[in-house]
Structure 1
Amino acid sequence: MNCEEMIMKKWWVFFAVIVSSVLFSEPMITELAPQMVYEYVLEGKALPGVLPMPSGERENRVSLEVSPFFYFGNFGGKTKTGWFVLSDPPWENFYLYENTPYFLNVSFEGFVGRISFYTEIPFTNNYSDFYLDLHSNVPPLWKELSSADSTFPYTAYGVYDGENFYVAVGRSKIRWGSAEFPTAISDVSPYFSHFTFSTKAQVQYTFHLISINPVLTTEEWEKQSTLRPVNADPLSPYTEKVKTLVAHRFDFHLLENFRFGVGELTMIGGKYPDLFSASPFAIWHNNYNEGYTNSMAVFDFSYVPVKGWEIHGEFALDDLVGTTENESKPTAYAFNVGARKVFSVGDLKGVLGVEYALATKFVYNTFLPYLKFNNRFVYLTNFPSSRTIVDYPVGFAFGPDARIFNASLDLFGKDLNLGVDAFYLVKGPNTLQSEYPKEEEGETKKVPGLSIRGSVKNFLFSLELFEGSASVGLGMKWKF
């Protein structure tokens, strides 16, 4: 075994030790949990640039979790009901539904050799009733027997965990970068339907092929099928009912305490992807597939200058208008920068963090509905009868025309988990639904807020304060 192979093996052995030490029970790690951040930074290791990644866990088992949870206060949820109606964006509700545990969740896990599978079957309240009526994860079966959410599964995948690479197929979260608020691919969506290939090396290559729900409203379809943008090719418009996100990146782990990543995303819409538009090793921007693609470049890093401290940043470039270019598409970008300090007090361990993130007015947006950087969900509900469309940002959690400063504290011990976020959000009127490239003239909202979530043994609690509203959440959790 040569020196390079020894370094590679040491690097991935460290990954396996870390993930097992923070008690991940799934075959893949899909969230950047505080426990994981603590272990990495304490050891002087840069944080990973891509999730999901294998956890090293392989079991054959069936598990059950029961977690009734109720909210009390003056919180008024924002949503719409109807037949394929576009709802309020999820950031208007600060992702309360998405951050609430399932009322009941059955998980199935198994493996054969290096192949593992994992599926969750949740039983919980539906999206519309949660915001409009009960404010709880308990389905109102006393009103309607079919009132439970029927959009599941949100997590269901298989993974091949090889010695030098891994492949995952199914539904799970995906995130890029080491930030609390990623700007390229974030984990605010309940899931992405994806194929992922990634190598295990000091120079790590990752490729995602992601299918996105192509359903459009009547107004959106009219625009997609008739509008020909000024920069489109002569064959426009493209009207196949398909939307695909492809993404690839390199992560350079040349030092244990420093990781640098460079990547690219391209949204392909109205046309099925092919090896010209989605070749894993091409530079997609340079294909100039005007009319059916929208590309974005990404750069990010994680650096641990000394054990216990970590700094990180990310820059996503959607469009850059040069001095000789037509200004039909304005310059658009998003970025974040932040720092973390890990510590311990007695039996408690903690992560203290600060971060600033910004998205300009036109980032993620474009002329055609199929080329916008959104992950569309259709929540099927029988009570009330509805097909509610919710657009989750692929990138920054609050979409375009937004910036946030966030200070966070995470504490965890044997029987305690506590997460505190104090933030100041500035959200302008431009959204992914804004006519592109038009500057909206609406109100700019300035929202200070506080979010506290945690558990003590089996007891769950939360406190949410933002935009003149307050809610207290209480619940219990049992595992079988």
Structure 2
Amino acid sequence: MTSVVSMLYADLVPVATLVPSFTYSTISDTGLTDEQETVESYKLYAELPPLIDMGFKFSANNFDLVGIVDFHQKSSILSDSDGYLWFKPQSGLSMDNNSPRVGYAETRYKGFLGSFGRRKLEWGPGMYDLAISDNSPYYDHLWLQYRVDETYGSWWYQFLATNFGSMYSSENAPIDKTLFAHKIGFENRQIRATISEIAMTWSDSIALSNWIPFGVWQSTAHETANVMIEATCEGLVGPARIYGSFVVSDSAIVGSLEENPSALGAMLGFSWHFFDGTDLVAKQDDFGLRENTFKNTQGGLTVGAECYYTSNYLYNSTSKEGTFTAPLKQFAYAGALNGDSNAYFLGFPYGPGAFLTQVMMKYEQKALTATAIVGILLKDEATIDMPYTTENGMSEFALTNSDVHVQFTAKGSWALKPNISISALLKEDFNATEGTSSFVASFGAMLKLSQIAL
């Protein structure tokens, strides 16, 4: 006789984290500031941990439901009569302006993965992806993925949709800004390769054609779409990992009815894993959803180097709604009267017109985690707000009149116990061309309540 046993379970884990910390920064975050200063101040504010995280994680068969609310210093972003933004942290403890930062449902069954809600997302094998990076605090998203396993490797398909709401300053308001992407990938134990199409669309309604799983979104065929193509490749040779990516505007491939500038970006990276870690303490979960890569997950010591290049018109568009950026109002909802300000690039965080070379080291052993990054950044005068035409005199590819930045980041944490840890951060960005510096230092502790299974 053959018996079939069905296993059902449910696990409810309360999430409560206390993170008292002290931060010193040379970035001004109070008083009357212009739009750029306000965005930079908010990004620093969002990067630092809140004082308290509270929420839950419910898990059942092939299903997770997570909700996390942040409590920290409230920020106010208001507009004055001259159009400037006023960024001023308020005293007292309150929820985030656009809370929660984490709230999603996820299901996994055999080769299927589905995620719906708000959380960090990340593509690619490098520290930054040229299309979808996790430098944005979160994405309101739908992520659908299916994998088929064969004896020689696995094929998989992914569909992604994420919305950025209506644009306040659009000439045709209300205009809804939505990103659609689909990706096909192959992987085995040594090689991983993907090709994807990413379309930023804007209209007063969401067209059903954008939801076609294997449709091709040509910007030449859709007047309200800005489209990029990205390809990535990653390989393992013993302890070495070699990886790279390339992104290009689709008008450079299929042509354009308009004389749009060429736009592309590239990344090349290398890492060497010396040894695995032992007796690793469980890491703090940021509940992000990240594409599978060959990145080391076993701790120990890994060193590497990366090089990024973005041309001067990458991420740009003939329309502000079509830029590959997330507006400020997506994260600072209350009082963001000028919320259309571009806060985050969805891909490379330094945007167009940049060249970055950096070396990295990461060490994880038992309760200790330490990371160090040293980089040289060249950043020219290209911005996402400049006209999408070469008539303004900006070269398509040459990074002329670039500022030279020397960057250094060091961070680490030590788990005194599984639920108690201390952490520190040092971050320096020295503009050697102008002789200016941006410095951040932070020190804090983290207390996590014990998990309770029901």
Please say whether Structure 1 and Structure 2 have the same fold, judged by a TM-score greater than 0.5: yes
Counterpart of 1:5? none
Q: SS in structure 2 opposite 1:242?
A: strand
Q: CA 1:280–1:394 in structure 2 vs 1: closer, same or farther (change >3 Å)?
A: same
Q: SS in structure 1 opposite 2:45?
A: coil
Q: SS in structure 2 opposite 1:214?
A: strand
Q: SS in structure 1 opposite 2:301?
A: strand
Q: Deviation of residue 164 (structure 1)?
A: 2.2
Q: Does 1:208 align with 2:160?
A: yes
Select which of 382, 393, 403 maps to 2:355. 403
Counterpart of 1:279? 212
Counterpart of 1:310? 241
Contact 1:374–1:393 at 8 Å: present in 2 too?
yes
Q: Tell me which amino acid in the other structure corresponds to 1:112.
A: A
Q: Tell me which amino acid in the other structure corresponds to 2:226.
A: N
Q: CA 1:291–1:81 in structure 2 vs 1: closer, same or farther (change >3 Å)?
A: farther
Q: SS in structure 2 opposite 1:434?
A: coil
Q: Does 1:264 align with 2:227?
A: no
Contact 1:213–1:377 at 8 Å: present in 2 too?
no
Q: Distance in 1 between matches of 2:424 and 2:245?
A: 32
Long gaps (5+) in structure 1: 1-56, 226-238
Q: CA 1:387–1:454 in structure 2 vs 1: closer, same or farther (change >3 Å)?
A: farther
Q: SS in structure 2 opposite 1:276?
A: helix
Q: Does 1:455 align with 2:413?
A: yes
Q: Distance in 2 between matches of 1:88 and 1:432?
A: 16
Q: Deviation of residue 87 (structure 1)?
A: 4.3
Q: CA 1:125–1:81 in structure 2 vs 1: closer, same or farther (change >3 Å)?
A: farther
Q: Does 1:360 align with 2:311?
A: yes
Q: TM-score, normalised by structure 2?
A: 0.77
Q: Distance in 1 between matches of 2:371 and 2:259?
A: 44
Determine which structure has the larger helix proportion and give its number. Answer: 1
Long gaps (5+) in structure 2: 1-8, 78-85, 149-153, 279-298, 416-420, 431-436, 450-454
Q: Where in structure 1 do 4 or more consecutive aligned residues deviate above 6 Å?
A: 78-82, 131-134, 322-327
Report matched runs for 1:183-262 at 5 Å.
183-201=130-148, 202-217=154-169, 221-222=170-171, 225=172, 240-253=174-187, 255-262=188-195
Q: Does 1:418 align with 2:370?
A: yes
Report matched runs for 1:129-168 at 5 Å.
140-141=91-92, 149-168=96-115
Q: Deviation of residue 111 (structure 1)?
A: 2.6
Counterpart of 2:282? none
Q: Does 1:339 align with 2:270?
A: yes
Select which of 453, 457, 465 maps to 2:428. 465
Q: SS in structure 1 opposite 2:167?
A: coil
The alignment of Structure 1 onto Structure 2 pairs a total of residues equal to 388
Q: Deviation of residue 95 (structure 1)?
A: 4.9
Counterpart of 2:259? 328
Determine which structure has the larger strand proportion and give its number. Answer: 2
Counterpart of 2:452? none
Q: CA 1:78–1:404 in structure 2 vs 1: closer, same or farther (change >3 Å)?
A: farther
Q: Does 1:374 align with 2:343?
A: no
Contact 1:128–1:381 at 8 Å: present in 2 too?
no
Q: Distance in 1 between matches of 2:320 and 2:225?
A: 11
Q: Deviation of residue 326 (structure 1)?
A: 6.2
Q: Tell me which amino acid in the other structure corresponds to 2:213.
A: P
Contact 1:80–1:86 at 8 Å: present in 2 too?
no
Could you tell me the percent identity over the aligned residues? 21
- What CA deviation, in whole Å up to 9, does each residue of 1:65-105 have, x standing for no partner? 111222225x12469879xx954485x56953343222110
- What CA deviation, in whole Å up to 9, does each residue of 1:418-442 have, x standing for no partner? 1111111111111111222245699
Contact 2:31–2:88 at 8 Å: present in 1 too?
no
Counterpart of 1:114? 62
Q: TM-score, normalised by structure 1?
A: 0.73
Counterpart of 1:99? 47
Q: Tell me which amino acid in the other structure corresponds to 2:131.
A: A
Contact 1:299–1:316 at 8 Å: present in 2 too?
yes
Q: Distance in 1 between matches of 2:345 and 2:76?
A: 19
Superposition RMSD in Å: 3.0
Q: Distance in 1 between matches of 2:345 and 2:447?
A: 32
